Amino acid sequence: MKNYILIIMAIVLVSVLVVGCTEKAVTEDNMDRSTEAPMSEAPKEEMTPIPSESPMAEESEEPMAEESEEPMEEEMMVGTKTEAGYIDVTPEEAKKLIDSIPELVILDVSPLYESGHIPGAINHYVGDGSLDDAIPTLEKGVPYLVYCHSDSASISGSKKLVAAGFDPVYRLIGNYGAWVEAGYPVE
């Protein structure tokens, strides 16, 4: 019994040392958290600002900043940038993007588009090559929100867009199911 306790204590100690070393390495490597830290601990500088939707906000920038500078910054930041270059967003963050960026292209890369999709979404299925065929015809310079019914397909679709030079590319965490579960509208 004492041996088991000693083994467990040794495992815990090694785990604590590994985590401590990893955190120190992250700090020493210019805080490159996209490769070494868990995504849930992403700093604000890895979040992407949502552009302002109204010209009035640009004209009266100083008064808005004086009234509530901190809350405004938090509201304007969404997602966590991944190593692959796309930005993972929650359903709530995706809804903010949709509501605040009129030119946002919502891209469903699933074969189940007809069964239900996010309002305004276009469909280019990643699994049959439709997305590859469509990429040259898609407009660059506008943001894209990619989702599917599975992580593997939405990740693949997001990577394909990033590799083709699209920026920014957002990927809906939890995909269509998370959107529906959050109570957001579907078509």
| Domain residue ranges in the chain | 2-30, 45-181
Distance CA 79, CA 42 (A): 9
What's the pLDDT score for residue 78? 87
7 compared with 64, residue with greater pLDDT: 7
3-state secondary structure of 79: coil
The vertex-162 CA angle with 183 and 169, nearest 5°, equals: 30
Q: Is the dihedral of CA 9, 15, 18, 20 positive or negative?
A: negative
Does the pTM of the predicted model rise above 0.85? no
% of the chain with per-residue pLDDT over 70: 59
Enumerate long-range contacts of 55-59, CB under 8 Å, 24 or more apart.
none
Number of residues that this document lists for the chain:
187
pLDDT of residue 137: 97
pLDDT at position 10, please?
59
Question: Average pLDDT of the chain?
Answer: 75
CATH class of the domain defined by 45-181: alpha beta
Question: How high is the pLDDT of residue 169?
Answer: 97
Q: Give whole-number Cα distances, 130 to 141, 155, 169, in Å.
A: 21, 16, 18
For residue 12, the model assigns a pLDDT of 60
pLDDT digits (tens, 9 = 90+) for 99-131: 999 999 999 999 999 999 999 999 999 999 999
pLDDT of residue 77: 72
